[in-house]
Amino acid sequence: MRSGEAAREGGSVDYYEEKNLKTDEVLYAESPTLEPERTRAHAFAEKLLRDFEAEHFRPIIKKLTDAVGEALWDMVRDSLIDDTSRNVAGHIQDRIESSIAALLGGRKWAIEKYALGSYRQEDIREAVAKAVPKELQDMRIVELEQEVKRLKESLEFARRY
C-alpha cells in the first residue's frame, strides 16, 4: 500500500517507510550527501525492531550493571581498606610522637608516666641518659649559659633604673 492509499484509508505511514518507497535515484537527488543509505538503514532498523521489546535489553543491562557494580565494589573495597589502614597507622604514629614530644618537652604527666611511673624507672632513665649525645648536652649548656647572661643583664639594667 502506498502512502497516499494508507492515508486515504485512515492508516499511518512512518516517515522512513514513506521515504523508502522512493527509488535510490530520487533519494540521492533530494540529498546527495546522505541518501539513499540513510533512508534504507532507517527503514531496515525500524522493520527489524518492530517485534523487539525493551525487555530484550534487560539481560544485557543486568550483565553490564553486575560487572560494573563488581568492579566498583573492588575499587571501593580496596580504597576503604587502604584508607582505614593508613588512618590507623597515622593515629598510632601521632600518639607515639605526641608521647615522645611530651616526654622530651618535660610535660609532668609524661615524666610521671614514663620515667617515674610503673615502668622500670632505672632502666628507662639509664637508656635516656645514654641516648642523649654529648653534642646535645653541650648545646643545652650553651643555651643555659646564654640564659644566665641575659638574666644578669636584665638584673643589672633593673638595678640601674
> Closest Cα to residue 103, out of 94, 111, 93?
111
Contact, 42 vs 35, CB < 8 A? no
Residues whose CB is less than 8 angstroms from the CB of residue 133 and which lie 6 or more positions away in sequence, other chains included: none
Contact, 43 vs 20, CB < 8 A? yes
pTM above 0.75, yes or no: no
| Domain coordinates in residue numbering, the chain | 3-55
Reported as a single tens digit per residue, the pLDDT across 13-50 is 677 778 888 888 888 888 888 888 888 888 888 888 88
